[in-house]
């Protein structure tokens, strides 16, 4: 039985800024605090969080949607890749980033809190700080 969930939060950035940061190696690394090698091209593979996360870009719809195959080093080699959909929507105070994670193995529920702790929190800090320095 596969697991799926959705998490969402508002980031102090435009959808374009958040989307572009997600698919830029240097900015993704700064945004999360973990080394990333990512690409803005469909079909390319990626790594994030110092190689803990690996996957492949399946569909890219700038600046509103990213669809990826996704797995971590905690997946057993017999477990299939999960599916990660990231949505970016404009709000009055930034971008709502929604993560829909599906086709996860039985141990996959842990990633729901992981997105909050390892992405939403750091993204809020990164873009909040970036907005302050951009105004100076």
Residue 131: the pLDDT is 61
pLDDT tens string 3-23: 999 999 999 999 999 999 999
Residue 54: the pLDDT is 98
CATH superfamily of 3-135: START domain (3.30.530.20)
Strands (E), 1-136: 3-11, 45-48, 53-61, 65-72, 82-91, 94-104
Q: What pTM did the predictor assign?
A: 0.92
Q: How far apart are CA 134 and CA 47, in angstroms?
A: 28
Confidence of residue 133 (pLDDT cuts 50, 70, 90): low
Distance of CA 26 to the CA centre of its chain: 14
What burial class does residue 19 get, using C-beta atoms within 10 Å of its C-beta: 0-12 exposed, 13-18 middle, 19+ buried?
buried
Confidence of residue 136 (pLDDT cuts 50, 70, 90): very low
Percent of the chain at pLDDT above 70? Answer: 95
**Residue spans per domain, the chain:** 3-135
Over range 107-119, report the average pLDDT: 96
Confidence of residue 135 (pLDDT cuts 50, 70, 90): low
pLDDT tens string 52-87: 999 999 999 999 999 999 999 999 999 999 999 999
For the chain, the average pLDDT equals: 94
């Amino acid at each position: 039985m596969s697991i799926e969930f959705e998490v969402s939060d508002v980031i102090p950035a435009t959808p374009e800024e958040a989307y572009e940061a997600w698919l830029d190696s240097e900015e993704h690394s700064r945004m999360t605090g973990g080394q990333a090698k990512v690409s803005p091209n469909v079909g390319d593979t990626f790594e994030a969080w110092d190689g803990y996360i690996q996957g492949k870009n399946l569909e890219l719809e700038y600046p509103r949607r990213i669809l990826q195959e996704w797995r971590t080093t905690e997946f057993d080699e017999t477990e299939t890749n999960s599916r990660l959909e990231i949505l970016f929507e404009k709000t009055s105070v930034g971008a709502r980033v929604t993560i829909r994670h599906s086709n996860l193995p039985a141990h996959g529920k842990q990633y729901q809190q992981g997105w909050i702790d390892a992405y939403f929190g750091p993204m809020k800090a990164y873009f909040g700080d970036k907005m302050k320095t951009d105004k100076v």
